[in-house]
Amino acid sequence: MSNIYGYVRVSTKDQKEDRQIIGMSSLGVEQGNIFADKQSGRDFNRPNYQKLLKKLKKDDTLVIKSIDRLGRNYTEIIEQWRVITKVKQVNIVVLDMPLLDTRKKDDGLTGTFIADMVLQILSYVAQLEREFINVRQAEGIKAARARGVEFGRKPIEIPQDFLRVRYLYEKNEISAREAGRLLGVNYKTFQKWLHCG
């Protein structure tokens, strides 16, 4: 008997997976068959995804919200698609893209051939878009720097009371933590100031 599974990934701990799960339940995916990871797309070593891959059997169906749930870039998406559809012989349904549905169609054609072609194109476009975003971001940063915009936090100014507190610290009358507390900073900032002057 074949089963229907769902895979959900959100990039941050604050994001909610509710929207992805609601779409899956409408296709009959039971709550116990939904695997979820809360990790950045930069780290593809996702434990629940790996558990799901081991559980998938021939003729099962995997439901995902969008193709980027399968990987970080074109190569990873295509490879995971190949493993799932060809090696494991599992159907995939992508909620955001109805053309990406490898289940058999009523007209006798398998959805796999069409889905594979669409996936190649969409994955390629997604990869290009990510690269364009990176280029645009780098150009934006460069332009902002040319206008004099400074990035990062401004350094904390050393308080007027620093020399007195430093004197107490160097005479071993207070600890670095106490010195930081007296100056309103953490002890690491205090120690950094010690080495600056």
Query: Over its length of 197 residues, how does the chain's per-residue pLDDT go in tens digits?
Result: 889 999 988 776 555 667 778 778 888 889 899 998 886 555 566 899 999 999 999 999 999 988 888 887 778 888 898 899 889 999 999 888 887 888 866 554 555 666 677 777 877 777 787 788 888 888 888 888 888 888 877 778 888 888 999 999 999 999 989 998 998 888 888 888 888 75
Beta bridge partners of 104: 110
Its pTM stands at: 0.58
pLDDT of res. 197: 58
**Which tokens hold the place of 84?**
């799932």
List the one residue out of 37, 47, 39, 43 whose CA is nearest residue 6: 37
pLDDT of res. 13: 57
Domain 4-130: give its CATH code. 3.40.50.1390
pLDDT of res. 108: 46
Query: Is there a catalytic annotation at residue 11?
Result: yes
Per DSSP, 9 falls in state E
Residue 191 in contact with residue 176, Cβ under 8 Å? yes
pLDDT of res. 50: 92
Q: Spell out the residues 6+ positions from residue 101 whose beta carbon is closer than 8 angstroms to its own.
A: 91, 92, 93, 94, 111, 115
Residue 148 in contact with residue 138, Cβ under 8 Å? no
Beta-carbon count within 10 A of 92 CB? 23
pLDDT of res. 99: 77
Catalytic residue selected from 11, 25, 26, 175: 11
Calculate Rg over the CA atoms of the chain: 26
For residue 117, CA distances in Å to 47, 83, 132, 158 come to: 29, 16, 23, 61
**Which tokens hold the place of 51?**
């558990």
pLDDT of res. 107: 52
Domain boundaries, the chain: 4-130, 162-196
Crossing angle between the packed helical segments 162-170 and 187-196, to the nearest 10 degrees: 90
Residue 162 in contact with residue 183, Cβ under 8 Å? yes
pLDDT of res. 57: 95
